[in-house]
Amino acid sequence: MNEDPLLYSKSCQMQKFDANHFLDTYFEVLNLKKDATILDVGAGDASVTLESLLPRLPNFKKLVVSDKSKKMVDFARNRFHDERIETVQMDIVDYNKSFKGYFDHIFSFFCFNLIPQVNTPQALQNVFEMLKPGGNFFATVIVNVPFFEICDSMTEENKWPPAMVGYKNVISPYRDSDNPEEKLTCFLKDAGFDVQFCKYEERKFTYGGLNEFLDHGLSIVPIGKVVSQDERAKFVEDFKEAVKKCSLVGIDERSDGEQVHYFYSVLVACALKPV
């Protein structure tokens, strides 16, 4: 994944849109405790934490904002001015054991779709161990997005295989599942959770033009590591053409500019650690 926090911060409108939607829909069932200890896993640049999660939290004792990218954590650290909030570099697949049994609530927005299937059981087991008995885990997980189809197309055409190597690491393990809800539910139950709900939802987000959508794509594809500056312009043009051909993208040409409709699917789940 691209580790450019400034670009990610600029282009994560969809992530905030979805976090707001799912928090508004399910917040009451989370039963957040007063003076709770809370963890946000895979928070990236902390835009979702800051703009979607934090305003909804009651009086909390501690909020830990984590990501495995040092660049993202360093960027996020400068966005908080509250002594109750701590930013931590942590890979949920190999977490800090000092947090065992520490949290009342753990949130994760669009992080677990970035974890390869082989590592998912360990990651969920780690979440389970970090929760106090009676604590809960709330997660949104991408199933499928146009980005996957776009990158498939560019890779299959053999124009940009070196540039697209990194995208294989961000393909959701639920993308090709006939029953993604059941798959995630099984992972959660195997980790020891009581699953309160796990639901599949089809979603749509509208970008204000192709360039705005392109920023979203480039915030994910780590092309800067593998594409020279001379090749970048050509890559961007090919990416735009792949977007126009994508079956999960609709482009409206309007008098006031174009709109890009982005169709995707998400799992939302809440699971409880038994007392």
Residue spans of the domains in the chain: they are 5-272
> How many residues are given for the chain?
275
pLDDT 10s digits, 219-243? 777 666 667 778 888 888 888 888 8
pLDDT 10s digits, 118-141? 999 999 999 999 999 999 999 999
Q: What is the mean pLDDT of residues 40-64?
A: 95
Q: Which CATH number fits domain 5-272: 3.40.50.150, 3.20.20.140, 3.90.420.10, 1.10.10.10?
A: 3.40.50.150
Q: Is 158 left (phi over 0), alpha (psi -120 to 50) or beta?
A: left
User: 142 φ, ψ to 5°?
Assistant: -65, 135
pLDDT 10s digits, 178-229? 999 999 999 999 999 999 999 999 999 999 888 888 888 777 776 666 677 7
